[in-house]
A and B are shown apart, each in its own frame.
Chain A
Amino acid sequence: MPLPIEIVLFIFLLTTAVVIARLEDLFAAAMLTGIFSLLSAGLFTIMDAVDVAFTEAAVGAGVATVFILCTLSLTAKREYQQPTRILPFIVVGITGAALIYGTLDMPAYGDPDAVPHGHLSAKFIEIEEKAFLSQDKHAAEPAQHGSGEKAVGLPNIVTSILASYRGYDTFGETAVIFTATIGVMLLLRTRRREKKVSPPNRDQMETTS
């Protein structure tokens, strides 16, 4: 049974999505995408995914909105008017219906018997929990266990999994961010102007300081 706050947030989320799709003023749409991300961040917090909520609030509501606004300042403020076409609407409708049909097979939210919870996560939690409990009793005992499994021994198990058990993956993700930024720089950056940084806006500096 969903909490009332969840229902309210989902209704807001849905409304925002529909309004974004229908708006022609792109500036307003950009601001609404920020609100959409903020609502998602609220939902993630309720679902105890605080890490994801941080990211969504900072990237989705903050940085990405600024990026969209930057893009708008380079392109157009209003959507290009097109005659209403029926075929794209049908295609999108069928795709959406198929996606919703797909979710029917997914395990219920918070189901402890769901497949992802039964395999490795249970093992990680078991190892870390044992290490953590044994740390309290005998601090000197190394985090070593009968099964020969080594524990990381951090209080926050998410960090343990992310940075140690899954250290390779996280290294790969960092490399992806690196590569993506190089791509953006190659595509977007104007040639570096070689002028020595001209005394940047004297009057602006004065008001700043």
Chain B
Amino acid sequence: MRMREKIILRVVSKAFIPFIFLFALYIQFHGDFGPGGGFQAGVVFAAGIILYGVIFGLDTMRLAVPERLMEYGIVLGLILYGGVGIVSLISGANFLDYDVLNAHDPTHGQHLGILLVELGVGITVTCAMTTIFYALAGRGEK
């Protein structure tokens, strides 16, 4: 990657990447109230990470976002989603029925359940996209 000389690209993307991440987190956690949700947040977050990788090179990217961590993340997100289902199952309700997650108010239970489930989707999508990028770009390294 002959990106070292592209000073404008480097400076501009460096300024933008934090805001991309911030926007992704907003989409993730504001999904209950506005448009967005786990999948959208995941792809926006991944787009930020991949932009970083494209501009600063794969080796720098590996330091910031370890490949192994991303691979664990794909599984972690799915387990988080399924785990919420198992918890509601143990609490005596149907699989993925969030009403029982809060003992007092089913609506709060729904909020909590949806928040966790969307977080699981977000983690899986981010890590999946990044891993695919590593797989593709890693082949071109040698």
**Interface residue ranges, A against B (CB under 8 Å):** 50-51, 54-55, 58-59, 62-63, 66-67, 70-71, 73-74, 131, 135, 142-143, 150-156, 158-160, 162-164, 167-168, 170-171, 173-175, 177-178, 180-182, 184-185, 188-190, 197, 200-201, 204-205, 207-208
Contact yes or no, B37 A163, CB < 8 A? yes
Contact yes or no, A168 B96, CB < 8 A? yes
Interface: B92 (CB within 8 A): no
Contact yes or no, A158 B35, CB < 8 A? yes
Contact yes or no, A51 B40, CB < 8 A? yes
Beyond the given A70-B140, A163-B118, A188-B136, could you list 14 further A-B residue pairs with CB under 8 A, ordered by the A residue number? A51-B35, A58-B47, A63-B129, A67-B136, A70-B137, A70-B139, A74-B140, A159-B32, A174-B121, A178-B74, A185-B71, A188-B139, A189-B138, A201-B60
Contact yes or no, A200 B139, CB < 8 A? no
User: For residue B107, which residue of chain A has the nearest CB?
Assistant: A153
5 contacts between A and B (CB under 8 A): A66-B54, A70-B133, A70-B140, A153-B111, A174-B125
Contact yes or no, A143 B107, CB < 8 A? yes
Pick from B36, B60, B98, B129: contact of A54, CB below 8 A. B36
B32 contacts which chain A residues (CB < 8 A)? 154-156, 159
Contact yes or no, A67 B132, CB < 8 A? yes
Contact yes or no, A63 B63, CB < 8 A? no
Contact yes or no, A142 B135, CB < 8 A? no
**Chain B residues within 8 Å of chain A by Cβ, number:** 64
Question: Taking the nearest CB of chain A, how far is it from the CB of B76, in angstroms?
Answer: 11
Question: Taking the nearest CB of chain A, how far is it from the CB of B86, in angstroms?
Answer: 11
Pick from A163, A180, A182: contact of B117, CB below 8 A. A163
- Cα A182 to Cα B35 with chains together (Å): 29
Contact yes or no, A177 B124, CB < 8 A? yes
Contact yes or no, B37 A164, CB < 8 A? no
A143 contacts which chain B residues (CB < 8 A)? 106-107
Contact yes or no, A73 B106, CB < 8 A? no
Contact yes or no, A154 B110, CB < 8 A? yes
Complex A-B, nearest 10 residue pairs according to Cβ-Cβ distance, in ascending order: A200-B59, A50-B35, A167-B96, A58-B43, A62-B47, A181-B128, A54-B40, A70-B136, A153-B107, A188-B135
Interface: B65 (CB within 8 A): no
Pick from A50, A55, A59, A152: contact of B114, CB below 8 A. A152
- Cα A156 to Cα B110 with chains together (Å): 13
Question: Taking the nearest CB of chain A, how far is it from the CB of B106, in angstroms?
Answer: 6
Q: Mark B11-39, 1 if CB is under 8 A from A, else 0.
A: 00000000000000001000111111111
